[in-house]
Structure 1
Amino acid sequence: MRIGLIGAGPWAGMTQAPALAGHPDVMFSGVWGRRPEAAAALADAHGTAAFTGDEGIEALFAVSDAVAFAVPPDVQAPLAARAAAAGRHLLLDKPVATNVAAARAAARAAQDAQVASVVFCTLRFAADTAPWVAEQAAADGWFTAHAQWLGSLYSDDSDSPFAASPWRREKGGLWDVGPHALSALLPVLGDVTTLSAGRGPADTVHLVLRHTSGASSTVTLGLSAPGKAAGTSLVLLGERGRAELPEGWGDPVDSFRRAVDALLGAARTGQAHDCDIHFGVRLTEILAEAEELLAGTAP
């Protein structure tokens, strides 16, 4: 399958581009970037073509069967709708959008065009965490869960290339790491039926969720923790006792290759993947509801 990449920033350079270039069943058909020099550098590094500007997007679509995305979510969603309308399969980053209407529009375009879609929720494709989520989802009797995703992007000693991301600065941990937590909780405990939300220090937020299984969960999310306080955990408690998400998510390039495999399989069989664009829309809906609740609380 010919797969093009929209995006030429740090995440594209670290993950999507090397995964596409090294996948045995993919022809890496090109890189589109908003900055011509970044698109050219990334394309040159992987022996493919560079595209930029609005005409460049159409040119990338013309030489691709599918499009992968590594751009901010509210840039991604309308471009995904255009790609789907052009008949291109979609390999999306999380979150699909931070705007519910835009996410739903992209999903409608994918459904109308009958193209395959996969959202790269890392936990659902990483070698250690994906089978753990599947194992817990197959079990019954979960009573409650506690998840914590705290990053230190904005601590004084941070050297993360993602700290300069304007959309992360604006939207915070709710939107950046919230999809990770939900992508693991929903398949195990079921969809969210009710939620409440409160603010913590800086961009930290706390969510309390009820799920269709009857279980509850609490989720703490943020990007502004001190370095020594940063970390992730997810603990399930129920009739089987305690289950904890394995530490470490492995190599993101390998995980993205598994997401590519999932897209190839969905395109070949016509069977939707569990992490398709409709799942991505549901994540956006839940996070948007939390954001609306938080808007009524003191900063």
Structure 2
Amino acid sequence: MSALLVLTDFTPDADHALAYAAALAAPLGASLVLLHIRRESLLDPDAFTGKIRHMSEGEVAAALAERAATVRVPIVVETAVESVADGVEEAVSRHRAVLVILGKPNTDATPDELVASTSLTLLRATQVPLLVVPGQATAAVPPARLTLAADGQPFRLAPSIIASTQKLLQRVHPALTVTHVAEPEDSDDCRMALASVLHSGLGTDLPHIDTHGVRHLQPAGGILQAATETSADLLVVVARRRSFLGQIFNRSVSAQVVLHSTVPVLLLPATE
């Protein structure tokens, strides 16, 4: 049975992500691993200002047990004392997790580069897909409408990522739309974008894939516009290596989409 790794700091946003993960795990036949990393908080905005909530071992154990009791799929709970990246990487490797899930708090008052770096750091450390669930997200789960952003350039995904994503499509049966964002003066034709998605191995088993072109000055803004126009329940973005290996996180299209999306975002780390 595949495992989904869910991160928690016991905030309402993390609890919302756990509920989302449980609803997603059921049709996939997946189990959950609920991980709390002690001594630093991944999800609490106060972590960026140096204010970290400290809990005793007993308090942590009770909080994990309380949350595990709310889900109806197989679940194990764990704590770690490493850095966020090291703790998540170790847990992903040991449980062979196919997806990391975390909640995103309201970050309007937090500098973009600090918030954006969290998701990209985890992609760099684990090389597995990352699902970011905004605390205010009300999208259907499992998703009924999935929108995948593609720039028309070839990309490659690890075979394990293709397999887990295809399993999601086969088990959940969402309507899939490929979107392409073009400059206002350029054509928003989606044929090359669709071809790049199919060439990667994604969506090849689906009988039909819709396309939706958008013209926008900013790629991230165009992707978010497409999510709204297609009524997406889940937004999928291919994160190229330059996005999550670069040092200037806030210039990454992937990071900007994560930062401002009001629907869950699935980041797929490309190998090239």
TM-score (norm 2): 0.38
What TM-score, normalized to structure 1?
0.35
Which structure features the higher share of helix residues?
Answer: 1
Which structure has the bigger radius of gyration? Answer: 1
